[in-house]
Structure 1
């Protein structure tokens, strides 16, 4: 017996599908219910059924026995309910991602994706993974290296389609058999049939050594060498985790000594944004009266020469919280309804001068611009006036951050969508006459002259990266 489905079985399934559709149509007519546009046409279903064996064979035989949502996906496709089938693809992917996270390093994962201190305290073990929104799960897997850059971009798109073209909305006729089988193959290749590799495995090994051993200076040398070669996104996640471990209530002297041996390497490869984040957490501990954690945060910042990244006042802490709230509303489900209240509150924190504390400026610009250009399905009209008001207050510093957004993987994925790309270029045209900085002007012109195909990858273009790098020389 072969591992796949033989041709006779496929023909029998297709014939049975046709008979089922005819019978159901007759039954709906007898009940006086609508029968048109209920089920996807049989030829579309046949395209899925005929291509399934090759795709399913990408999944390990032992793993198939527990892949219940793949069975439900096939059943939904056969029944002609493509919108439900899309849900089942996503459900299988989410279940698989949770299993991978649980086997990987839960503390590292939670520290990477959840920056709100109060919420982080409630996330402890595998059972708490269901408390994360699905977009957080996908983003966290990308931040920790469980998902590759290309895997993240594919899954972010499939998640978006699941939100807008699944059974939650009456759009099933827009889905085709080839689309579904392609999305299934992507989820299998990038998630279901793939394990973390490369730098992600290295980080798991680093963290295991730091938690379980008493390290000496010679022990730390190869660890630091490995950290120095990590991609920036993974370096960011590692620094968050080391800071979280060091300031945790359970941190003992051995663990802190281990972290001191490697924290400088993680600090040096991380962007300023996450360094300011550590400074903000110090201020949060202080304002909440968490003296032990405040002192530990100060020790950590001392060890990495990070005291210049402490916030100047508590305003930065307040604004950071409002930015996180708006970002969560924008990226979450039913965002058009949820965004306005958070946008209004954030706008109220920005004075007429438009001055934003340096420690939260990057996150502020990214969140406001992402909300303004939309998610590919539109922009929250009730929140748009607040976004326009905040964009109107952008000064040279904020416009500089605006042009560097294409260096961010999540943002570059967003402008791959035509509607977002169009809105982004409209903002480029808006800011071009408002800046006198020559580097910023050149960057805006490069963005403006990029084709639709070039724009999502412009952040990786050597010329663009060199131009952005010249900010530090000016």
Structure 2
């Protein structure tokens, strides 16, 4: 025996009385018109049978007078009237979603006056366009509801019809109205763009203020969230922006970045590339820093990643070779470690990266920066096999700074041995295994 499909909250419609179907035949006969001008008894029976399956998907609070009238129309075979009631119910629900999104916010997005009377006067086709723009319906939903709009205009009792529909066509129509308009009661609220931007550009967020804006951003839909993220990226990159505004922008994006979808990431990269294409160096430089601070360097192209890694490596190297290096190295080492955790080090800067870290780890004739030692250990432990091979080859060559330090200073030889002990022997490439064994011994 096959398992039965689960049915939840499915309404049980009363059986069609034995008098209903014969009454339709009697009515047409009394008017002297063929019975075939109305839906057949079989079509009515099948539509009535399928009706509960569709109605169960409509939340109970939306099962109103229009749904009741639709059922009555189906029971008498008036499918043209039934689709009109179903469509009106769907349109009312879409209007409700727009209203809940916030009419003032819709006006901001449209850059035009938009009050409740404008919503009520909006043609169905324009309403569907607006719902798609506000992301209240999906592209699939827009496609199928727009088809339903055509069916309603040409085959319903709302206008003179060009034909009739049968039970299967009606059920399909109802299914689309339910699936893409009536079944989903979620109604995201829009974010007041002007107020949000003013808050970001203002003083540093307080804890409560930031919590309120974050809640609103999470409650809206992806499309508006993407728009607002792009706006705060622009604020961060603006050379004239205040530092509180830049920090507020980072706070917002840091809290939202886990929910960035592909479209949001793509939009940020496109805006970043546009700065480069226009030669807007101040904004492009700030944008690179934006990606760095959010841990999103992996989204940038390889040449830009190279520049970021090279600059961070060079700053550490300069601090290591400068005055008071033991005190100055830690922040530069920490910054380089943060960047290295965002993705693989570009091959073009890998050797410089490895040599800098290795030299800093083994130190010089005066010792090492103990304040940065723990960071150097984490960097060495995270070396890839290619980077491990580079470190060993550099240590084995008397043509490199690392090689000369290891060859000339016993303290550096001992520190190199400690560095190699941080590495899993299984990660050592076979090409440098002999030198690895030599240094370990």
Please state which band the TM-score falls in when normalised by the shorter chain: 0.3 to 0.5
What is the TM-score when the length of structure 1 is the normalising length? 0.41
What is the TM-score when the length of structure 2 is the normalising length? 0.44
